[in-house]
Amino acid sequence: MLTLACFVPHSPVLIPEVGKKNVEQLNDTIKAYQSLEHDLYSMKPDVILVISPHSEQRSEAFVINQSPKLKVDFKKFGDLVTKFEFKNDIGFGYQIKELVETEMPVVLSAQEELDYGAGVPLFFLAQHLPKTKVINISYSDLDNELHLEFGRKIRKQINLTGKRVAVVASGDLSHKLHEDSPAGYSPRGQEFDQKIIKLLADKDIKGLAGLDPELVKESGECGYKSLLILMGILEDINYQPEKMSYQSPFGIGYLVENFKM
């Protein structure tokens, strides 16, 4: 059964050993993460499925990571202290592949080192759940409807299993919100973020999937297709969206959204 679903940001600046003093500017985001962690811990999931935009990707196929061990560290960001690992639920991941492969392209990978798109959410949500297994998947360049359908198939597999499954969609919104944003500035960045927030609040999955492709591209986002897979999972489920925080101190939109069952 699906126990928890959320959309969260993955900036390495959120990691104390990386962000240092800059972490203080993300207090709202961290508090939202802590609230989610409390909920997740109380639910004791068997599996956490993390959808990351920075995991190994194939333009023509979805990717499911089948490495037996999944390790997290932030060495590339100068943090030599923070590190942890999880066991992968290989069987569950393979069952998802078997369920979808006749209808859409999906491939298996074996990346032991998780990217920061998966690592940052797991740092906040799963360090007190060392026995919980993790599945890491990534999206593709396939069309929006196939991403929704991939999510629907994942939900079907969740329903077929007796396991308690939490789904974490990782992604940042626009990277072009301020004049000093790392990807440059676009007035459409804020338009994109506000549309995403409203569509989620309205539970408008059709509207989300039908967003203007030029707006999505111009925003410089890295979370849109993670959201589409999550919406496919949540479709037809009675859930209540809750915007827990939204911040953009560094010119990038960081949204924490909980979808209460």
- Tens of pLDDT, residue by residue over 148-169, are 999 999 999 999 998 999 999 9
Specify the 3-state DSSP secondary structure of 88.
strand
Query: 215: burial class by Cβ within 10 Å (0-12, 13-18, 19+)?
Result: middle
Residue 54's pLDDT is: 94
Q: What is the mean pLDDT of residues 73-100?
A: 96
Specify the 3-state DSSP secondary structure of 260.
strand
Q: Judge contact between 100 and 38, C-beta under 8 A.
A: no
Question: How crowded is residue 138: how many other Cβ atoms within 10 Å of its Cβ?
Answer: 27
Structure tokens at 42: 């109380």
**Homologous superfamily of 2-175+222-260 in CATH?**
LigB-like (3.40.830.10)
Q: What is the mean pLDDT of residues 122-137?
A: 96
Q: What is the pLDDT confidence band of residue 245, given thresholds at 50, 70 and 90?
A: very high
CA 214 to chain centre: 22
Q: What is the DSSP code string of 205-220?
A: HHHHHT--HHHHHHHT
Angle value at C-alpha 32, between 26 and 36, nearest 5 degrees: 140
pLDDT tens digit string along 21-39? 999 999 999 999 999 999 9
Residue ranges with strand state E in the chain: 2-8, 47-51, 62-65, 69-74, 79-87, 106-109, 133-138, 165-170, 240-247, 254-260
Q: Judge contact between 60 and 69, C-beta under 8 A.
A: no
Q: What is the mean pLDDT of residues 205-220?
A: 97
Share of residues in the chain with pLDDT > 70 (%): 100
Q: Is the dihedral of CA 189, 191, 195, 198 positive or negative?
A: positive
